[in-house]
Structure 1
Amino acid sequence: MTTNETESGEKMELLNANLAKVEELSLRLAEVMGHHKPLRNELNAPEPEVFMTAATAYWQNMLNDPGKMIENQLDLWTKSVKGFVDAQNLILKGQFAAPQDDTPTDRRFSHPMWKTHPYFNLVKQQYMRNAEAIRKSVGELEGLSGKDKQRIEYFSSQIIDMMAPTNFLGTNPEVLEKAVATEGQSLVDGLENLIADLESNNGELLVKLADENAFEIGRNIATAPGKVVYRNRMFELLQFAPTTDTVHEIPLVVFPPWINKYYILDLKEQNSMIRWCVAQGYTVFVVSWINPDRSYSDVGMEDYITEGFLEAIAKVKSICDQPKVNAVGYCIAGTTLHLTLSLMKQHGDTSVNSATFFTTLTDFSDQGEFTPFLQDDFIDGIDEEVEEEGILRSFIMQRTFSFLRSNDLIYGPAIKSYMMGEAPPAFDLLYWNGDGSGLPGKMAHQYLRELCQSNKFVGDGVELCGKTLKISDVDVPICAVTCETDHIARWRDCFHGFQQTKSRSKTFIVSQSGHIAGIVNPPSKKKYGHFTNKKLKGTADEWMEGATFHEGSWWPRWDTWLSQKSGNQIPKRTPGTSDFPVLGDAPGTYVLEKATK
């Protein structure tokens, strides 16, 4: 027996052994799924009437204009048959090559074999033809309402993404190559990754995006020096240690969103906005919200306003012995800061000297990419979920956000982890993204029904805390920072709400990039620029047409704005006082609590 034959035999034995492991792991997988309690149907798909409406519209269009439908089908058939014939002709000529490929560039198909191998190229081309045919058919549907059309477009797009040949072992050359090169070990590792993810989420499939063992809160992320100086059932108040000899007189209190943890603003030293603000001479306080369990089911928006925002503002004023604070609200916390300012206006409370809003929506008249999830069938399902569970569990929100970018946040990572057996990357931002929080049941219901669906805050007002709160009550100096490619809080929608405040001093900024990267954009990186325009009347597009682009981060521009509203320089403040003794080191204890499954 030759050396090559021996090596070949050993490889075959290893491959067979790994395939046997796959069978063993399959039994473990079956056990995991046997204990899985599926989500209610309303949270997995729209009500059947949505698809019935689309089918009826398609049938009606066919009756009204059968020529167009037949023309579309013939076009697909012609391209499909031609692609097959071209591939066959090359093979008959003895050429192992792909036919001409005029399909658009798609990074999912970056592996060379998608272009060079006749089989994989044919599969790719046919998938892209089918996808285009579906999009065209949906795009030409008539007789549907705007929201129904958006929903059909969204769910058809999800089907298209799900059925990509890259998502299947037999039609992904990169996966097959690695399986052969590793004698099947990549498949074993991938199945182990899959089972581990299922086990950690009670049978729900949430692709782990980052290596959780690479990070530890307080050790290599969320490390800005500071102290916990106050705690109640809603939040811990963190005061960060000064790094300058003098500080601005008026303190800065930051309210992060409670859907995720505060340390998005303190990931690493190089991109920590908290550290940067401290270095500019601000006394920085940050609210670290509780990760609610089922006992918080009756906590509503009014509790976040009174026991959260108002309480934090009062405690910061007392600690610093100052009558005013400057406040920052990020995403949903920015929305709630607006509600708080409306309530304070009606109470004659002038504690907030200025307010800054990061990626904040207040006008929900255009629900954008969230339209499919903000209709009654889905919200009814969420109401039933929170009625049963007491909270809106974190993984439900995480899954929803992921499907808005399914190729980047679901299928791409799943291919790497489950089909190629690769460990997730050590990426701090993705680690933070997976460290979610739940929402109290009452609060989730109010936010979705009163604000997102009914859009009351910019209309007749929303009833909270015994008052009718309206955006027109907001009249403190404000600065809004939005992000150009943000798909969660689109900058144009943020602009519409921003315009409806009654503040006489307004600044609006559009940063390049998205919901996170556009905000966490330190000057040292010199990565993303930003747009400004002092003319705030007219449409958002008119604002952008007249805007000036500036290279680099918006942080220094905001610092110039904020410093003018922060009073004189005074000696630096050490965290805590005799009335507010230090309760522990930052990042505190609330940030360590994991979301309820």
Structure 2
Amino acid sequence: MAQKSDDHGHSGQEFPGFDARFFDAYAIKDPQSLMMNAARAFENLGRAASEWLGPRERGETSDDLFAGPIGDFIKTMSALTEYWTSDQKRMLEAQTLLLSTYFEIWMRSIQQAGGQQENSAEADMAANKDRRFADEDWYRNPFFSFLRQIYLASATWAERLVSEAEGLDEITRYKARFYVRQFTAAFSPSNFAMTNPEVWRATVESQGMNLVTGMRMLTEDVIAGGGHLRLRQTDASQFSVGNNLAITAGKVIARNELCEIIQYAPSTETVFKRPLVIVPPWINKFYILDLTPEKSFIKWCVDQGHTVFVISWVNPDREHAAKDWESYIREGIDFALDTAEQATGEKQVNAIGYCVGGTLLAATLAWHAQKNDARIASATLLTAQVDFAEAGELKVFVDEEQLAVIEAQMKTSGYMAASQMAAAFNLLRSSELIWPYVVNNYLKGKEPMAFDLLYWNSDSTRVAAANHAYYLRSCYLDNALSAGQMKLGGGSIDLRDISIPIYNLATREDHIAPARSVFRGNALFGGPVEFVLSGSGHIAGVVNPPSRTKYRYWAQGDTGAKSADTLDGWLKEATETAGSWWPHWQAWVEAQDTDLVPARIPGDRTLSPLGDAPGTYVLARA
């Protein structure tokens, strides 16, 4: 049947919805070159497979640690499946719902091919907020539009199966929802070469060279991960710790086998009398707080007149296997407090704990309270949980069976591998931290852009076995800290013994320390609590310098943190302010003590510098 085109290049009356421009870009122009490059791509894929299998055959690595999550996935999804398959009527209704949705999509696709759905496609494209489907051909090309709609309908249907399943306990439902989202994220049509319009066009245009390059990059990333995929999220060649990251001037003034203590050089003539000691998480490296001069919270604190000390944790290996929670307190926080006193002569400090560093700091404060140790005069907790009842999606990986697998593996190695830690955290945001890079790197064959935050994210650390096992059991599994049952020094500690002022920061979109979970901690402290809610997430909501004028925060003073029963109730009374929370925190710290002294130079008292910041421990790659 002949086709006719008007002056605008649109198709004729026989197929008014057919526009050749939607299909020309997908027609193979040079099949011979494409086949040759496809063969080269498969050859590179074979090399990647060999690099994956090699370490397993030699016994250098294994996938034993993933047995726990895989087993839990099977158990959870079996419980969900049993509910829907145990009643034929229920199963038929669910199937009918999905098939009727598919039929509606099929009819719309036929109408689109007939030129009757152009306005609908434009409206869908304008309303789209899913970056996976940003390309216009997901809407204007009938084939890709059909795939997109089928996928979204299937994903919505799958999540509905979870939410409407009766008889599931809340933990099983929570896990099922998480696993379903991981499954649907993985099987998005955007993740496959033949169903992603951008990848298909790139393949046709380059005769398949994008896949050759992508499979080469895949091989390199498997080699870099020692048999596990170390997914590159940024152009690592553009960054170097100590050269263009973590460059705030300072000195390492103390070191033990667990950490280095860095004192930063002053930038003001006078400084606050109380030093500031920062306890970062040991799960990642401290320089998230000192990325670049423009983003550095550490430099900003120095510029406000603080004498800043930071703990730089060692990247643990087998010899650190027995370093437990108490070790990180005694040889980490207490060591930093002793160092600050030696360096400044001051007996009291203000302290900051970030993420799990904040959880450790809170436990330290409770332990100190029992011993009448008053060295910490005020404490700031940044996205730190002390009550783990609503601890978020990380709880998916923590139950008795999975912990047994983790502990058995760590008993052999002495630590939790950095690659396994990174994989767990990336899974929490797989649609942002995994699949976009799989598509960009391995299907499009493009190097990711240079991004300092993602370089830091990829600079993973190992975690000492004893410390990690204690943390997972005492906090995530038993929630012992909130109940006053955490064991330290031979007895139990209670957060209610803490009477010093607390600045408790949560971030609104946090997926690691959810805001509701952080808020629950307010009621557990025995002293005044200033609760503040920042916009954005676990990292961007914290690392948000005032100069960027981004996001916003909510606060209402220390009277509201404990009086409100819920976060939503607290928000109704809170005051919203545009910009960074940093100046608000600075005003809070100054309200604790405004005494000033001449600026302190690292090493100007009894401690001789051991080297320049950022030290040596931070340079160890896992």
TM range (shorter): over 0.9
1:50 has 2:69 as partner: no
**For 1:110, which of 134, 143, 150 is the aligned residue?**
134
Question: 1:30 Cα deviation (Å)?
Answer: 2.8
Verify the 8 A CA contact 1:98 1:117 in the aligned structure 2: no
1:292 has 2:311 as partner: no
Task: Point out where structure 2 has 5 or more consecutive residues left out of the alignment.
Answer: 1-26, 57-61
Q: Which residues of 2 match residues 360-439 of structure 1 at below 5 A?
A: 360-439=384-463
Query: What's the counterpart of residue 342 of structure 1?
Result: 366
2-structure distance, mates of 1:242, 1:450: 39
Query: What's the counterpart of residue 554 of structure 2?
Result: 531
Deviates more, 1:533-542 or 1:293-302: 533-542
1:270 has 2:294 as partner: yes
Question: 1:579 Cα deviation (Å)?
Answer: 2.3
Q: Which amino acid aligns with 1:51?
A: M
Query: What's the counterpart of residue 96 of structure 2?
Result: 74
Task: Point out where structure 1 has 5 or more consecutive residues left out of the alignment.
Answer: 1-7
Verify the 8 A CA contact 1:334 1:358 in the aligned structure 2: yes
**DSSP-derived class of the 1:424 partner:** coil
Q: Which amino acid aligns with 1:202?
A: G
Query: What's the counterpart of residue 530 of structure 2?
Result: 507
**DSSP-derived class of the 1:518 partner:** coil
2-structure distance, mates of 1:302, 1:456: 15
2-structure distance, mates of 1:49, 1:247: 58
Query: What's the counterpart of residue 21 of structure 2?
Result: none
Question: 1:475 Cα deviation (Å)?
Answer: 1.3
Query: What's the counterpart of residue 602 of structure 2?
Result: 575
Question: 1:72 Cα deviation (Å)?
Answer: 3.2
Deviates more, 1:319-328 or 1:125-134: 125-134
Q: Which amino acid aligns with 2:48?
A: L
Question: 1:28 Cα deviation (Å)?
Answer: 1.4
Question: 1:12 Cα deviation (Å)?
Answer: 5.5
Query: What's the counterpart of residue 37 of structure 2?
Result: 18
Verify the 8 A CA contact 1:391 1:438 in the aligned structure 2: yes
2-structure distance, mates of 1:445, 1:115: 49
Deviates more, 1:327-336 or 1:50-59: 50-59
Question: 1:526 Cα deviation (Å)?
Answer: 0.6
Query: What's the counterpart of residue 5 of structure 1?
Result: none
Structure-2-length-normalised TM-score: 0.90
**DSSP-derived class of the 1:271 partner:** coil
> What do residues 105-128 of structure 1 show as CA deviations (whole Å, max 9, x unaligned)?
332111111111111111111112
Verify the 8 A CA contact 1:343 1:467 in the aligned structure 2: no
Question: 1:480 Cα deviation (Å)?
Answer: 1.0
> What do residues 238-286 of structure 1 show as CA deviations (whole Å, max 9, x unaligned)?
1111111111111111111111111111111111111111111111111
1-structure distance, mates of 2:101, 2:519: 45
Q: Which amino acid aligns with 2:553?
A: H
1-structure distance, mates of 2:349, 2:201: 60
Query: What's the counterpart of residue 576 of structure 2?
Result: 549
2-structure distance, mates of 1:46, 1:359: 31
Query: What's the counterpart of residue 14 of structure 2?
Result: none
Structure-2 change in CA distance of 1:578 and 1:133 (3 Å): closer
**DSSP-derived class of the 2:70 partner:** coil
Q: Which amino acid aligns with 1:34?
A: L
Query: What's the counterpart of residue 23 of structure 2?
Result: none
Q: Which amino acid aligns with 2:286?
A: Y
Question: 1:96 Cα deviation (Å)?
Answer: 11
Q: Which amino acid aligns with 1:109?
A: F
Query: What's the counterpart of residue 84 of structure 1?
Result: 106
2-structure distance, mates of 1:332, 1:86: 50
Query: What's the counterpart of residue 10 of structure 2?
Result: none
2-structure distance, mates of 1:396, 1:569: 46
**For 2:592, which of 554, 561, 565 is the aligned residue?**
565
> What do residues 349-404 of structure 1 show as CA deviations (whole Å, max 9, x unaligned)?
11111111111100012232223112222222211221121101111121111111
2-structure distance, mates of 1:76, 1:430: 39
> What do residues 436-464 of structure 1 show as CA deviations (whole Å, max 9, x unaligned)?
11111011110001111101111142111
Q: Percent identity?
A: 34
**DSSP-derived class of the 1:269 partner:** coil
Verify the 8 A CA contact 1:96 1:118 in the aligned structure 2: no
Question: 1:195 Cα deviation (Å)?
Answer: 1.0
> What do residues 511-556 of structure 1 show as CA deviations (whole Å, max 9, x unaligned)?
1111111111111111121100131212222111111001111111
Q: Which residues of 2 match residues 107-506 of structure 1 at below 5 A?
A: 107-503=131-527, 505-506=528-529
Query: What's the counterpart of residue 519 of structure 1?
Result: 542
1-structure distance, mates of 2:100, 2:35: 43
Structure-2 change in CA distance of 1:447 and 1:9 (3 Å): closer
Question: 1:491 Cα deviation (Å)?
Answer: 1.5
2-structure distance, mates of 1:450, 1:319: 34
2-structure distance, mates of 1:10, 1:368: 50
2-structure distance, mates of 1:371, 1:266: 29
2-structure distance, mates of 1:575, 1:523: 27
Q: Superposition RMSD on alpha carbons, in Å?
A: 2.1
Query: What's the counterpart of residue 3 of structure 1?
Result: none
1-structure distance, mates of 2:356, 2:112: 58
Question: 1:10 Cα deviation (Å)?
Answer: 10
**DSSP-derived class of the 1:175 partner:** helix
Deviates more, 1:465-474 or 1:42-51: 42-51
Verify the 8 A CA contact 1:225 1:586 in the aligned structure 2: yes
Query: What's the counterpart of residue 593 of structure 1?
Result: 620
Verify the 8 A CA contact 2:385 2:521 in the aligned structure 1: yes
Verify the 8 A CA contact 1:244 1:281 in the aligned structure 2: yes
Structure-2 change in CA distance of 1:330 and 1:594 (3 Å): same
Q: Which amino acid aligns with 1:528?
A: Y
> What do residues 89-112 of structure 1 show as CA deviations (whole Å, max 9, x unaligned)?
665x6x698895687733211111
Deviates more, 1:383-392 or 1:42-51: 42-51
**DSSP-derived class of the 1:527 partner:** coil
**DSSP-derived class of the 1:206 partner:** coil
Structure-2 change in CA distance of 1:151 and 1:23 (3 Å): closer
Verify the 8 A CA contact 1:251 1:566 in the aligned structure 2: no
Structure-2 change in CA distance of 1:577 and 1:111 (3 Å): same
Structure-1-length-normalised TM-score: 0.93
Question: 1:9 Cα deviation (Å)?
Answer: 12
> What do residues 34-64 of structure 1 show as CA deviations (whole Å, max 9, x unaligned)?
214342243442434333322222234x25x
1-structure distance, mates of 2:371, 2:91: 62
Question: 1:203 Cα deviation (Å)?
Answer: 2.2
**DSSP-derived class of the 1:476 partner:** coil
